[in-house]
Amino acid sequence: MPDLIIFNIVIPCTDNSTGIVWSPEKFDGWLVETVERFGGASVVGIGLLGLWYDQELPPEANPIEDNSNWYKIGVPPDRIEELHEHVKATAIQFGQKCIYFERAGEAEFVWDPEHQPG
């Protein structure tokens, strides 16, 4: 069994309904909270440009340009549902209709024998 299941989480930098651009401090706070809760996370990219289609808007309003921050988080298999709930709360916190949440694969820890746990 893998030590961790890896997930990619992409959080848009702008509130979906108000257009407010979130401050870097808001993202920093989310990252610290996430690391404290799950034990670690990596920032893969900041302010990455993406395009998406909103089915609720007329065709001429699409595609929508969006800048997002990309994070990678690994959790033990028994904590996947907890992470999923955290991402749902993140969607609300950042004013999003949805958050991109990708199961990216599995990871294991390869230890220096001198530091190998029990």
Contacts (Cβ under 8 Å, ≥6 apart) of 98 = 91
Q: How far is Cα 15 from Cα 75, in angstroms, rounded to an integer?
A: 27
Q: What is the pLDDT along the chain (118 residues), one digit of tens a residue?
A: 679 999 999 999 999 989 999 999 999 999 999 999 999 999 999 999 999 998 999 999 999 899 999 999 999 999 999 999 999 999 999 999 999 999 999 999 899 999 988 8
Instruction: Note the pLDDT of residue 115.
Output: 95
Q: How far is Cα 13 from Cα 46, in angstroms, rounded to an integer?
A: 9
Instruction: Note the pLDDT of residue 118.
Output: 81
What is the model's pTM? 0.90
Contacts (Cβ under 8 Å, ≥6 apart) of 14 = 20, 21, 22, 66, 67
Instruction: Note the pLDDT of residue 2.
Output: 78
Angle at 44 between CA 85 and CA 63, to 5 degrees: 75
HEC string of 18-69?
Answer: CCCECCHHHHHHHHHHHHHHHCCCEEEEEEEEEEECCCCCCHHHCCEEEEEE
Domains of the chain are: 4-108 (3.30.70.60)
